[in-house]
């Protein structure tokens, strides 16, 4: 089954491909649809934004679409940046700028109070408007400085629970096994492998 992944982010596409390789999905992405416009992510929850992106992409392409909205919730910052994770430092902010703002806002916050979690909601939609949601989350803490060269976004400062390394210090396979997006995609994969009928029916 051909499915459009509602992103142009190459690293995100690779992550989906790794976790979904055992399913029947053939993944395309928006790099093959230059006419597709960016969705305004104005929802107040991850689920609202993921659903909006998936529905718009499915209706544009005429194919089932997958979209995720994910972000970092930092307890000491009132669960910010949350749905604004990708633009925490302002519109068009780079990963580095977002990360620097996060660390600056946390300042000298003590280690026990630097708890955080990554949350991912994955929406699968078809052109008829059927939607199914899958969620993944991982608890952890925010380090005091970036460490590691892998991953993207806030990976260099996020240390998952039970680990001493950041996501950016892990191999892609190690991160996939415990990441919020990896868990959401794994839930989708399980539904695809276990379901006897159309997943969106």
- CB of 95 within 8 A of CB of 157? no
* Percentage, residues of the chain above pLDDT 70: 96
Alpha-carbon span 179 to 28, nearest angstrom: 22
What is the pTM for the complete model shown?
0.85
- Select the highest-mean-pLDDT range: 7-11, 25-29, 147-151, 160-164: 160-164
| Catalytic hit among 29, 68, 69, 155 | 69
Catalytic residue flag (residue 42): no
The architecture that CATH gives domain 2-194 is Alpha-Beta Complex (3.90)
3-state helix, strand, coil in the chain (%, to 5): 40, 25, 35
Task: Say what the pLDDT of residue 108 is.
Answer: 95
Q: Among the listed ranges 14-28, 38-52, 111-125, 130-144, which one has the minimum average pLDDT value? A: 14-28
The residue ranges of every structural domain in the chain are 2-194
Alpha-carbon span 132 to 51, nearest angstrom: 9
The per-residue pLDDT for range 68-84, each reduced to its tens digit, is 999 999 999 999 999 99
Residue 147 φ then ψ, to 5°: -140, 135
Task: Say what the pLDDT of residue 157 is.
Answer: 97
Task: Say what the pLDDT of residue 140 is.
Answer: 97
CA 93 to chain centre: 17
């Amino acid at each position: 089954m051909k499915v459009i992944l509602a992103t142009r982010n190459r690293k995100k596409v690779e992550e989906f491909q790794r976790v979904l390789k055992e399913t029947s999905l053939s993944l395309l992405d928006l790099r093959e649809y230059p006419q597709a416009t960016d969705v305004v992510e104005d929802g107040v929850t991850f689920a609202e934004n993921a659903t909006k992106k998936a529905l718009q992409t499915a209706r544009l392409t005429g194919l089932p679409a997958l979209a995720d909205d994910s972000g970092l919730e930092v307890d000491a910052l009132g669960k910010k940046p949350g749905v604004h994770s990708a633009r925490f430092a302002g519109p068009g902010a780079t990963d580095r700028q977002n990360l620097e703002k996060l660390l600056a806002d946390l300042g000298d916050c003590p280690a026990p109070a630097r708890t955080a979690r990554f949350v991912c909601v994955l929406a699968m939609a078809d052109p008829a408007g059927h939607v199914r949601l899958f969620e993944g989350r991982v608890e952890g803490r925010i380090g005091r400085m970036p460490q590691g060269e892998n991953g993207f976004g806030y990976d260099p400062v996020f240390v998952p629970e039970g680990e001493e390394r950041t996501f950016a210090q892990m191999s892609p396979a190690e991160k996939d096994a415990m990441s919020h997006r990896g868990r959401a995609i794994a839930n989708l994969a399980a539904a695809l492998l276990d379901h006897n009928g159309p997943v969106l029916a």
